[in-house]
């Protein structure tokens, strides 16, 4: 009954594309706007703490608007498209892609209460549905409510994130020997990935890869 009602409401109140406002396809990310997304070359963009880091696209245009929409404006429907863009890139990488455990970067309890969801958890679950991977949100805990990173320079970012994450030791035993995939939205200086890999390695994690939806101009010098 609810499904029928939902379909009727979609017909009456058509969804508009979040980027061009078109209602022609009754979707949040129309095919015309999606086709404009440019993927980066299919190779690692950074190497942080001996961890390969990949980014699907640049943090600009529709990608910037999409990430901010999910993160700050409750546009949860866009999580599927963010995951799809990452999958479009991921499936073209010439690396072993079997049996990853996805670890979305956690947010603080304060931000979780404000937003009511972790945006990267939403994206990770959509990505898992496309790949068959498992999502584990209980390996890393964010214990420090850090200042927004975009306001800080490289040195300030590293200081801001120092001690921000702690491992859940009990849950880490469940993934011992497995391939871990750190999942985040934007790569800038790599401070977040650096801190999380340190925490993971402190408990014996060895096979770690990092994957972000996008990267800043700072990183594009490698692309």
The rounded mean pLDDT for the chain is 87
Looking only at the bridges linking them, the beta strands covering 179-187 and 208-215 are parallel
Higher pLDDT: 222 or 172? It is 172
Domain boundaries, the chain: 1-35, 37-222
Query: pLDDT exceeding 70 applies to what percent of the chain?
Result: 84
How many other C-beta atoms are found inside a 10 Å radius of the C-beta of residue 103?
25
User: HSE-up of 29 (CA within 13 Å, CB side)?
Assistant: 22
Query: Cα–Cα distance between 28 and 17 in angstroms, integer?
Result: 4
Query: Cα–Cα distance between 146 and 129 in angstroms, integer?
Result: 30
In a 3-state reduction of DSSP, which class is residue 88? Answer: helix
Tell me what the mean pLDDT of segment 101-119 comes to.
Answer: 92
Task: Please report how the helices 154-161 and 191-202 are oriented relative to each other, as an axis angle in degrees rounded to 10.
Answer: 30
For 37-222, CATH gives 3.40.50
pLDDT of residue 92: 96
pLDDT of residue 10 exceeding 80: no
Query: Cα–Cα distance between 15 and 7 in angstroms, integer?
Result: 11
pLDDT of residue 193: 94
pLDDT of residue 35: 97
Query: pLDDT exceeding 90 applies to what percent of the chain?
Result: 60
Q: What is the pLDDT of residues 16-47, one digit of tens each?
A: 999 999 999 999 999 999 999 999 999 999 99
pLDDT of residue 2: 43
- Sort 176 into a burial class: Cβ within 10 Å, 0-12 / 13-18 / 19+: exposed
- What is this structure's pTM? 0.88
How many other C-beta atoms are found inside a 10 Å radius of the C-beta of residue 68?
15
Q: How far is CA 112 from the centre of its chain?
A: 16
């Amino acid at each position: 009954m609810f499904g029928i009602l939902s379909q009727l409401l979609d017909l009456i109140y058509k969804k508009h594309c979040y980027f061009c406002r078109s209602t022609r396809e009754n979707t949040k990310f129309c095919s015309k706007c999606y086709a404009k997304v440019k993927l980066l070359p299919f190779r690692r963009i950074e190497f942080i703490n001996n961890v390969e880091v990949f980014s699907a696209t640049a943090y600009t245009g529709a990608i910037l608007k999409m990430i901010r929409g999910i993160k700050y404006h409750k546009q949860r429907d866009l999580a599927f498209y963010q995951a799809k863009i990452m999958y479009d890139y991921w499936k073209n990488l010439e690396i072993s892609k079997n049996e990853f455990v996805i670890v979305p970067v956690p947010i603080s309890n304060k931000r979780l209460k404000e937003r009511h969801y972790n945006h990267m958890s939403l994206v990770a679950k959509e990505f898992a549905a496309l790949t068959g991977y498992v999502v584990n949100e209980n390996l890393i805990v964010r214990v420090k409510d850090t200042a927004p990173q975009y306001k800080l320079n490289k040195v300030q970012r590293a200081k801001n994130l120092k001690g921000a994450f702690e491992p859940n030791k009990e849950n880490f035993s469940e993934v011992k020997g497995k391939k871990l995939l750190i999942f985040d939205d934007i790569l800038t200086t790599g401070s977040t990935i650096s801190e999380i890999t340190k925490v993971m390695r402190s408990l014996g994690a060895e096979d770690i890869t990092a994957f972000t939806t996008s990267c800043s101009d700072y990183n594009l010098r490698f692309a």
